Amino acid sequence: MEKNELRKEIRSRKRQFSAEELRVQSLSLISRLLVHPRIEQANTVMLYHSLPDEVDTHTAIDRLAACGKRVLLPVVLDEERMEVREYRDQACLQTGSMNILEPMGRPFQTLEEIDVIVVPGMSFDADGHRLGRGKGYYDRFLQQVPKAYKIGICFDFQKVDYVPSDQYDIPVNEVI
Ligand code: ADP
Ligand code: MG
């Protein structure tokens, strides 16, 4: 299947679940994420601030920040690039260009200090190949952070046997 076909397929699968069903599925995925040894050992974790159709990361963000970890979130800069900024509390967030809540403030620049990155995806396969929304934001960002441990996260119905990938696609180390 081509990337675009797979995106279409995943979007149609998603429509079969209510917001409440997605919420329940999110809770179980997030509880596994929060006890992951890589997360427990990490000082600096990059997450994403979820949209309604994604695995809900909102409580995980607050829980990790509350237990003293440095939590980073992406900020979309233009058509191709994103940076990360530190999350402190809900009040530090503003709506960004893609309707995603993003931290205000300075960019976090010592990217080599990021221990774990929780990577969203439209789909993942068991080898960690990732399908995004089609703009390549994470592929461009992740190439700057080769040493971070990357955990892909998506609903079970988004996991497939095979995700097509090309030269720029950066796989994750594991999928939750
Ligand atoms: P996504 O990862 O969001 O699913 P794609 O993998 O289809 O999206 O990538 C979208 C576009 O971005 C492709 O044309 C791809 O070649 C380009 N791209 C991705 N990463 C890079 C990169 N590091 N440098 C240049 N172009 C890139
Ligand atoms: Mg890609």
Q: Which of 139, 143, 163 to mutate to test the pocket of ligand 1 (most atoms within 8 A of CB)?
A: 139
The answer to whether the CB of 90 falls within 8 A of the CB of 104 is no
pLDDT of residue 78: 96
Ligand 1 proximity of 131 Cβ (cutoff 6 Å):
yes
Residue 106: both structure tokens together: 């300075």
Domains and CATH numbers, the chain: 3-175 (3.40.50.10420)
Chunk the chain into consecutive blocks of 10 residues (it has 176) and report each block's average pLDDT, rounded to whole numbers.
Answer: 94 96 97 98 98 97 98 97 97 95 97 98 98 98 98 98 97 98
Transcribe 44-76 into DSSP letters: EEE-----TTS---HHHHHHHHHTT-EEEEEEE
For ligand 1, the distance from its centroid to the CA atom of residue 164, given in whole angstroms, is: 12
d(CA 64, CA 67): 5
pLDDT at residue 39, as a whole number: 98
**Confidence at residue 4, expressed as pLDDT on a 0 to 100 scale:** 97
- Tell me, what's the pLDDT at 27? 97
Per-residue model confidence (pLDDT) at position 170:
98
pLDDT at 113: 98
DSSP state of 106: P
pLDDT of 142 reads 98
